[in-house]
């Protein structure tokens, strides 16, 4: 499903990633582990084509991401549900509208929106918060809105970037449980994290990124 | 589908910064107000010019012995000439009537004359005054023609020919001046629209970035911005047109009275509104293109690149 082959990324003289290689198969649950600044977010940005690798090959679903043209990127990004570290929610839209926006972007018929939004908010436990704005939510709730937005279009893979980073232990555990549940439904899940205790507790596959 | 969403986004963006919206609509409104007034001015000056150019300019006085058949032959010959338009035959009796009308304030003068003293004539105008001399020379050669008069040479110095030439010059300057004014206002509106749309894009930069990251296409991201731009264009065109309409409706009775028989503006309300309706449709089309091109240019400067 996802393959990085000897991928390096530099910004001028600063090397963010060097010779990173890994594979993630369909339906897998993988933790991407590394210290802060080790390049986990860079891997996400390379995967969704926001960055172009300095060298190496990136393949997603049989498609060479590093060779895609800019106009081909939206289609790629719609296949990957991303939970960003800083959530990247639209502050002037409600929870419901944020999730709806992903459906609109994916070109899904408006008649489907209400049902799908209700379903996904039910899954992440935010049905009661649908009419609220991001500024009215807690950190854990924001994380779940971001997850709902990533899930609603039914993408092939979910990439969650540090989803537990700013959360208390209990909330972090709930978010990870949710991701495991989603994985059990057949989705490939990649979670970048430095939450060692939580990762060890789950005993899932880990890909370690060493800081250069 | 997502069209409703884009329209909602555009309208909420307008509500969020009403003063920017007001600035854009005002500048466009002034442009289209002037455009409407200029369009009416061009129409009216054309009407005045048309009035004078379609008046008979050449009169061929016919010999008394000319038969009706000969007159018909000459009439057909003149009418067939591409340089000539609107040929009218004026009989001796009609000439007397014209004389009577002209001397209505002194009826005695008309009583003293007999139709036989007036020559019958063929009156016509030329499509361009430049042809007048040639046509007069040719018509003079006909056997049944006694003499030919050019209205420019009949009467005072302020002859029809002079009036037409002067009107042509005035019309030319109205068109030229109008084009210059419209070009300046058009460019100003275009730039203001670009600046306002650019500010909107800057204020939505975060949203645009997020939409791009979740897979929105360029068309999806651009749509609300372009819709907003078109809303400004249409509102500006409508309010500018409306202000001009009020002014024109207010002035029309006085203008029509001043110009007398020259129909510088349609006399019935239906035709006047029809004319203004056509102008508005044209302006909406122009506003649409200004909005799309202005908005599109502002958007093209915000394209994100892969790093």
- What are B58-92's pLDDT values in tens digits? 888 888 888 888 889 989 888 888 888 788 888 88
pLDDT at position B154: 43
Beta-carbon contacts of A107 under 8 Å, excluding residues fewer than 6 positions away, are B1, B2
- Give contacts of B213 with chain A, Cβ < 8 Å: 48, 50, 77, 82, 84, 88
What integer is the mean pLDDT of B299-303?
69
Q: Which of B70-96 are b and which e, b meaning 16 or more Cβ less than 10 Å from the residue's Cβ?
A: ebeebbeebeebeebeebebbebeebb
Q: State the pLDDT confidence band at B305, using cuts at 50, 70 and 90.
A: low
Question: Is residue B291 scored above 90 in pLDDT?
Answer: no
- Mutation target vs A (from B9, B215, B217; most A CBs, 10 A cutoff): B215
B54-58, B136-140, B147-151: lowest mean pLDDT where? B54-58
The set of residues, in sequence order, having a beta carbon less than 8 Å from that of A49 and lying 6+ positions away, is A65, A68, A73, A76, A77, B306
Contact at 8 Å (CB) between B14 and B228?
yes
- Chain A residues in contact with B211 by the CB 8 A cut-off are 101, 105
Across the interface, do B306 and A50 touch by the CB < 8 Å criterion?
Answer: yes
% of residues, chain B, pLDDT over 70: 90
Q: Of residues B193 and B281, which shows the higher confidence score?
A: B281
What pLDDT, on the 0 to 100 scale, is given for residue B156? 42
Which chain A positions have a beta carbon within 8 Å of B5's beta carbon?
A: 100-101, 104, 110
Question: Residue B283 pLDDT more than 90?
Answer: yes
Q: Please answer whether residues A163 and A193 qualify as being in contact, where contact means their C-beta atoms are separated by less than 8 angstroms.
A: yes
Distance from C-alpha of A101 to C-alpha of A104, rounded to nearest angstrom = 5
pTM: 0.70
Distance from C-alpha of B304 to C-alpha of B307, rounded to nearest angstrom: 9
**Looking at the predicted structure, is the pLDDT value of residue B157 above 50?**
no
What's the pLDDT score for residue B153? Answer: 45
What residues contact residue A46 under an 8 Å CB cut-off, 6+ apart? A4, A7, A9, A17, A52, A53, A58, A65, A66
Task: Return d(Cα B36, Cα B182) in angstroms, integer.
Answer: 10
CA atoms of B226 and B242, how far apart (whole Å): 24
Mean pLDDT along residues B274-298:
90
Specify the range with the lowest mean pLDDT, choosing from B30-34, B117-121, B285-289. B117-121
CB-nearest partner of A109 from B1, B214, B216 = B1
Q: Round to whole Å and give the CA distance between A133 and A87.
A: 13
Q: Is B15 on the interface with A (CB under 8 A)?
A: no
Q: What tens digit of pLDDT does each residue of B7-57 get?
A: 888 888 888 778 888 888 998 899 899 889 988 988 888 888 777 776 667
* Residue B152 reports pLDDT greater than 70: no
pLDDT of residue A62: 87
Of A11, A74, A84, the CB nearest to B216: A74
- B191 pLDDT band, cuts 50/70/90, is confident
- Nearest residue of chain A to residue B206 (CA atoms): A90
Predicted confidence at residue B303, as pLDDT, reads 56
Backbone angles phi, psi at B118, to 5 degrees: -90, 135
Judged by CB atoms closer than 8 Å, whether chains meet at A105 and B213 is answered as no
Q: Which of A48, A50, A101, A148 should be substituted to probe chain B, the one whose Cβ sees the most B Cβ atoms within 10 Å?
A: A101
Q: Check whether B282 has a pLDDT greater than 80.
A: yes
Q: Is the CB of residue B291 less than 8 Å from the CB of residue B237?
A: no
In this prediction, residues B160-179 reach a mean pLDDT of 74
Q: Residue window 181-200, chain B: list those with CB within 8 Å of chain A.
A: none
* Alpha carbon distance B206, B190 (integer Å): 26
Residue of A nearest to B204 (CA): A90
B20 min Cα distance to partner chain A (Å): 19
Which candidate in A65, A66, A88, A148 is best for mutational testing of the B interface (most B CBs within 10 A)?
A88
Are residues B207 and A90, on separate chains, in Cβ contact within 8 Å? yes
Handedness of CA A131, A136, A140, A146 (dihedral sign): positive
**How many CA atoms lie within 13 Å of A54's alpha carbon, on the beta-carbon side?**
14
Of A38-47, B51-60, B147-156, B197-206, the least confident: B147-156
Helix/strand/coil (H/E/C) assignment for every residue in B251-278: HHHHHHHHHCCCCCCCCCHHHHHHHHHH
Is A89 near chain B, with CB under 8 Å?
Answer: yes
CA distance linking residue A100 with residue A118, whole number of Å: 10
CB < 8 Å to B214, chain A: 77-78, 82, 88, 101-102, 105, 149
Task: Identify the pLDDT of residue B151.
Answer: 65
Distance CA B32, CA B300 (A): 26
Q: Which residue of A has its CA nearest to B220?
A: A105
Chain A residue numbers touching B306 (CB-CB < 8 A): 49-52, 70, 73
As a whole number of angstroms, the distance between CA B91 and CA A69 comes to: 84
User: Does A199 contact chain B (CB < 8 Å)?
Assistant: no
Q: Which residues of B213-243 are buried (b: 16+ CB within 10 A; e: fewer)?
A: bbbbbeebbbbbbbbbbbbbbbbbbbbbbbb
CB–CB of B217 and A74 under 8 A? yes
Chain B CB contacts of A51 below 8 Å: 306-307
Q: Are A50 and B213 an interchain contact pair (Cβ–Cβ within 8 Å)?
A: yes
Contact B2 A104 (CB under 8 A): yes
> Any chain A CB within 8 A of the CB of B18?
no
Closest CA–CA distance from residue A160 to any residue of chain B (Å): 13
pLDDT for res B162: 66
Chain A contact present for B270, CB below 8 A: no
Q: What is the DSSP string of chain B?
A: -THHHHHHHHHHHHHH-HHHHHHHHHHHHHHHHHHHHHHHHHHHHHHHHHHHHTS--EEEEEPTT--HHHHHHHHHHHHT-TTEEEEEEE-HHHHHHHHHHHTTT-HHHHHT--GGGSPPEEEEEESSGGGHHHHHHHHHTSTTEEEEEEGGGSSSSS-HHHHHHHHHHHHHHHHHHHHHHHHHHHHHHHHHHHHHHHHHHHHTHHHHHHHHHTT--HHHHHHHHHHHHHHHHHHHHHHHHHHHHHHHHHHHHHHHHHHTTS-SS-SSHHHHHHHHHHHHHHHHHHHHHHHHHHHHHHHHTT-----
If you average pLDDT over residues B154-174, what whole number do you get?
Answer: 63
A-B contacts at Cβ under 8 angstroms: 64
Structure tokens, B107:
């009826």
**Selected residue of A76, A79, A104, A133 to mutate for chain B interface (largest B Cβ count, 10 A):** A104
Interface test with A, best of B212, B213, B217 (most A CBs within 10 A): B213
Token reading at A143: 């994380």
Cα maximum dimension of chain A: 50
User: What three-state secondary structure class fits A150?
Assistant: helix
Q: What is the C-alpha separation between A34 and A187, in angstroms, rounded?
A: 23
Cα–Cα distance, A110 to B89 (Å, whole number): 73
The whole-angstrom distance between A100's CA and the closest CA on chain B is 10
Q: What is the pLDDT of residues A13-57, one digit of tens each?
A: 888 888 999 999 998 999 998 888 888 889 989 999 989 999 999
Please answer whether residues B23 and B192 qualify as being in contact, where contact means their C-beta atoms are separated by less than 8 angstroms. Answer: yes
- Structure confidence at residue B304 (pLDDT): 52
Task: With beta carbons less than 8 A apart as the criterion, state whether A184 and A24 touch.
Answer: no
At residue A156, the pLDDT reads 85
> Using CA atoms, how far apart are residues A149 and A114, in angstroms rounded to an integer?
13
User: Which residues of chain A fall short of a pLDDT of 70?
Assistant: 212
Percent over 90 (pLDDT), chain B:
17
Chain B closest CA to A95's CA: distance in Å? 15
What is the distance between the alpha carbons of residues A104 and A152, in angstroms, rounded to a whole number?
A: 11
Q: What is the pLDDT of residue B244?
A: 95
Average pLDDT for B135-154: 78
């Amino acid at each position: 499903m996802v393959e990085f082959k000897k991928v390096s990324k530099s910004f001028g003289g600063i090397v963010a990633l060097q010779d990173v290689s890994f594979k993630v198969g369909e339906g897998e649950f993988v933790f991407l582990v590394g210290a802060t600044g080790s390049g986990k977010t860079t891997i996400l940005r390379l995967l969704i084509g926001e960055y172009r690798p300095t060298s190496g090959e990136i393949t997603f679903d049989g498609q060479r991401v590093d060779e895609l043209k800019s106009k081909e990127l939206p289609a790629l990004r719609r296949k990957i549900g991303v939970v960003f570290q800083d959530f990247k929610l639209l502050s002037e839209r409600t929870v419901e509208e944020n999730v709806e926006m992903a459906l609109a972007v994916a070109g899904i018929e408006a008649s489907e929106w209400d049902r799908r939004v209700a379903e996904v908010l039910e899954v992440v436990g935010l049905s009661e918060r649908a009419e609220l704005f991001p500024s009215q939510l807690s950190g854990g709730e924001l994380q779940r809105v971001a997850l709902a937005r990533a899930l609603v279009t039914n993408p092939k893979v979910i990439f969650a970037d540090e989803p537990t980073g700013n959360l208390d232990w209990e909330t972090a555990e709930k978010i990870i449980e949710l991701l495991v549940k989603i994985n059990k439904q057949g989705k490939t899940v990649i979670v970048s994290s430095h939450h060692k205790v939580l990762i060890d507790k789950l005993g899932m596959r880990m890909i370690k990124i060493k800081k250069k | 589908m997502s069209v409703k969403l884009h329209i909602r986004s555009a309208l909420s963006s307008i509500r969020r910064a009403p003063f920017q919206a007001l600035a854009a609509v005002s500048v466009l409104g002034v442009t289209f107000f002037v455009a409407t007034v200029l369009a009416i001015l061009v129409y009216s000056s054309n009407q005045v010019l048309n009035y004078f150019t379609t008046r008979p300019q050449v009169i061929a006085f016919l010999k008394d012995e000319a038969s009706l058949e000969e007159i018909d032959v000459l009439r057909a010959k003149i009418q067939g000439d591409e340089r000539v338009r609107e040929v009218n035959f004026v009989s001796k009796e009609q000439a007397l009537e014209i004389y009577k009308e002209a001397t209505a304030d002194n009826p005695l003068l008309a009583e003293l004359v007999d139709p036989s003293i007036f020559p019958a004539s063929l009156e016509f105008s030329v499509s361009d005054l430049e042809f007048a001399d040639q046509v007069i020379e040719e018509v003079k050669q006909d056997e049944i023609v006694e003499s030919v008069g050019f209205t420019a040479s009949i009467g005072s110095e302020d002859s029809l020919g002079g009036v037409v030439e002067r009107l042509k010059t005035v019309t030319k300057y109205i068109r030229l001046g109008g084009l210059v004014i419209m070009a300046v206002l058009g460019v100003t509106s275009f730039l203001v629209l670009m600046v306002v749309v650019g500010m909107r894009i800057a204020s939505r930069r975060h949203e645009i970035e997020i939409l791009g990251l979740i897979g929105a296409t360029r068309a999806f991201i651009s749509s609300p911005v372009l819709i907003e731009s078109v809303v400004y264009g249409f509102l500006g065109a409508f309010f500018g047109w409306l202000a001009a309409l009020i002014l024109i409706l207010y002035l029309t009775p006085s203008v029509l009275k001043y110009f007398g028989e020259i129909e510088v503006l349609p006399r019935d309300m239906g035709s006047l509104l029809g004319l203004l309706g056509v102008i508005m449709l044209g302006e909406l089309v122009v506003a649409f293109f200004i909005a799309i091109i202005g908005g599109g240019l502002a958007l093209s400067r915000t394209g994100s690149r892969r790093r």
